[in-house]
């Protein structure tokens, strides 16, 4: 069984308590339909466990098969710089069918973030290093597809439907 090689740290995007009894880490791709399917399931899992669960999202854009995944991940990181990561994360998944540069700029402007600043950041690759660091950490941890979940540092190799994740997390409590 693979283990998480890059521990959860202050640089991560965390919902909930980073010191909760269970930490669920997802390596995801914003253009992956399976990740889109997992997004509301993770929200249900978070609601189910409440303060017992911390959730971390890390970028794992599979750009060879998802040409917009890298720019979507960089857009989420751009939003993170303005404390809007989770809002952008959710908006990208909710609008995945229209994913592309026009949508990303539109989402930024809807959130009252500068579309011009986002366009410049994407052009200059301002957040590419951060996305690549997540990706490399995923590779080191044995991630080879998305979504990949880790529960308290151990890769969850089972299905990621609600009952499956709840059962796997419950086993760690």
What is the per-residue pLDDT across 65-116, written as a single tens digit (0 to 9) for each? 999 999 999 999 999 999 999 999 999 999 999 999 999 999 999 999 999 9
Which secondary-structure segment (H or E) carries 39?
A: helix 33-49
On the question of pLDDT at 1 being above 80, the answer is no
What pLDDT was estimated at residue 77? Answer: 98
* pTM (two decimals): 0.97
Dihedral sign for Cα 96, 97, 101, 106, please: negative
What pLDDT was estimated at residue 173? Answer: 87
pLDDT digit string, tens, across residues 111-168: 999 999 999 999 999 999 999 999 999 999 999 999 999 999 999 999 999 999 999 9
pLDDT digit string, tens, across residues 23-60: 999 999 999 999 999 999 999 999 999 999 999 999 99
- With contact defined as beta carbons under 8 Å apart, do 74 and 122 qualify? yes
Name the CATH superfamily, with its identifier, for domain 13-170. Answer: Glutaredoxin (3.40.30.10)
* Residue written as token pair 């660091």: 133
Give helix 115-124 / helix 101-110 axis angle, nearest 10°.
Answer: 140
Bridge partner list, 27: 58, 148
Under DSSP, is residue 167 helix (H, G, I), strand (E, B) or coil?
Answer: helix
Measure the CA dihedral 1/165/54/9, to 10°: 20
- Does the N-terminal peptide bond of residue 94 adopt cis geometry, omega within 30 degrees of 0? no
Sheet arrangement for strand 53-59: 13-15, 53-59, 22-28, 148-151, 154-156
């Amino acid at each position: 069984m693979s283990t998480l090689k890059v521990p959860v740290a202050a640089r991560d995007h965390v919902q909930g308590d980073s010191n909760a009894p269970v930490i669920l880490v997802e390596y995801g791709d914003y253009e992956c339909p399976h990740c889109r399917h997992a997004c509301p399931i993770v929200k249900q899992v978070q609601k189910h466990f409440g303060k017992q669960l911390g959730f971390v999202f890390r970028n794992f854009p599979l750009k060879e098969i998802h040409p917009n995944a890298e720019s979507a991940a960089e857009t989420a990181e751009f939003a993170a710089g303005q404390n809007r990561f989770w809002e952008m994360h959710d908006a990208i998944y909710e609008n995945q069918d229209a994913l592309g540069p026009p949508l990303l700029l539109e989402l930024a402007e809807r959130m009252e973030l500068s579309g011009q600043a986002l366009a410049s950041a994407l052009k200059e690759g301002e957040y590419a290093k951060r996305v690549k660091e997540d990706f490399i950490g995923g590779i080191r941890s044995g991630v080879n597809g998305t979504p990949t979940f880790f529960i308290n540092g151990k890769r969850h190799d089972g299905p990621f439907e609600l009952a499956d994740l709840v059962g796997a997390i419950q086993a760690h409590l």
